Amino acid sequence: MKLARRMDYLHTSVFTDLRHDKEEMEKNSQTKVLDFSLGSPDIPPASAVIETLSTQAQDAANYRYAVNPLPELVQTIQEWYQTRYGVRLDADEICLLQGSQEALVNLPLLYCNPGDGYLIPDPYYPAYLDAPSMAEADILFMPLKEENDYLIDLDAITEQERKKAKIMLVNYPNNPTGACAPDWFVEKLIRFAKANDILVVYDSAYSELVFNGQKPKSFLSYAGAKEVGVELNSFSKSYGMAGARLGILAGCPEVIEAYRKLKSNMDYGVFLPVQYAGITALKTGSNVVEQTRQTYEARRRLIASEFGKAGWDLHMPDGTMFVWARIPDQWENSFDFARDLLHETGILVTPGTAFGPQGKKYVRLALVVSSYTIRAAAKRLMDSRFFLQLNQ
């Protein structure tokens, strides 16, 4: 049987390939690989969240369809947005998700016909590319460059691209670069979207993971945002609920209504025990969020210091759980660099090319490892003189 054409757009995840490389390395060299590749949070949920999930999972009544979200969860989300971001949300401006990636994959189906334009940043989270491709939309890249602090250059989007585009996907704090968006940029983005009749899908999965004393912000807190876009938020990164899939789509009520219609034909809602756990997370998890932020910020400082001593100068991110690291000029591309780094030191990183053409000279390191692992990796870099020998 011949697969549908849309399957041609999907490829094996880079993380599957990296896991294979890791297993081969450990098998052939008997060296334990220090893995900085996959951004799977290693900080567990608060004990109260785990207890709620466990208790509710033992209630047989919670195994029915959850077509409609728990009213208490919707109310808690409203209160959280109001308290945390100063954003007032009506119930018709909220839709529950089985993780924010659900909407990333499905939103192009709402607005994109084959050949319509879909603007995505480059570098990008892989789902940003796969989802519009499956909808047979034309991908329009928005380069994120170091010299522009990894902000989208809205003025560089051509008139032809503006007319063609139906959706633009924006992600700050940004994966993989770690950049954060200043107020002036978001305000300009809203004006741009309104002037060009383009829907903004603002991925705020890392909204709580900002450093240097920055205050977390919501796209929806800016004037006019609800008129032009929707925001995605996630319980995975801030509350440690990556495996218990729960996310939020919020903003423009017309988009929410259309998405609910699509969703009603695809699933029966979020497992009720997970919804109850989400309520507990939002009501009691402020200390956990702050501890999580402090942990990543401390790891960020540690890796910059320790790797710097070993000859790898890293640009410290303003947010997220990632470091976007430039590779030495001696390597033509990040794939070759990552392979050599693995073979010579047993350290695994993600090649920047996995996130798009702009990643050719970068790799991504995920800060989802312990301080011990960071120090152990720095020692390997020092002992191998992997970077130090380049300067001799």
Could you tell me what percentage of the chain is helix, strand and coil, using 3-state DSSP and rounding each to the nearest 5?
50, 15, 35
Name the one residue in this structure whose structure tokens are 């070993």.
Answer: 310
Does residue 151 register a pLDDT over 90? yes
How far is C-alpha 141 from the chain's CA centre?
18
CA pair distance 299, 368, nearest whole angstrom: 9
Q: What values do phi and psi take at 21, rounded to 5?
A: -60, -40
Q: Are 151 and 185 in contact (CB under 8 A)?
A: yes
Hey, CA dihedral for 35, 40, 46, 47, is it positive or negative?
negative
Which residue ranges form the domains of the chain, and what is each CATH number? 9-38+287-384 (3.90.1150.10), 62-284 (3.40.640.10)
Give the tokens for residue 18.
Answer: 């990296």
CB atoms within 10 A of CB 155: 8
pLDDT band at 15 (very low <50, low <70, confident <90, very high): confident
Question: Quick check: 13 pLDDT over 90?
Answer: no
Confidence class for position 12, pLDDT limits 50, 70, 90: confident
- How would residue 107 be classed by pLDDT, with cut points 50, 70 and 90? very high
**Using an 8 Å Cβ cutoff, are 320 and 174 in contact?**
yes
Q: Does the pLDDT value for residue 392 go beyond 80?
A: no
Instruction: Give me the pLDDT at residue 139, please.
Output: 96
pLDDT in tens, 311-342: 999 999 999 999 999 999 999 999 999 999 99
Average model confidence (pLDDT) across the chain: 94
Determine contact, residues 354/337, Cβ cutoff 8 Å.
no
The pLDDT assigned to 351 comes to 96
Residue 265's pLDDT is 92
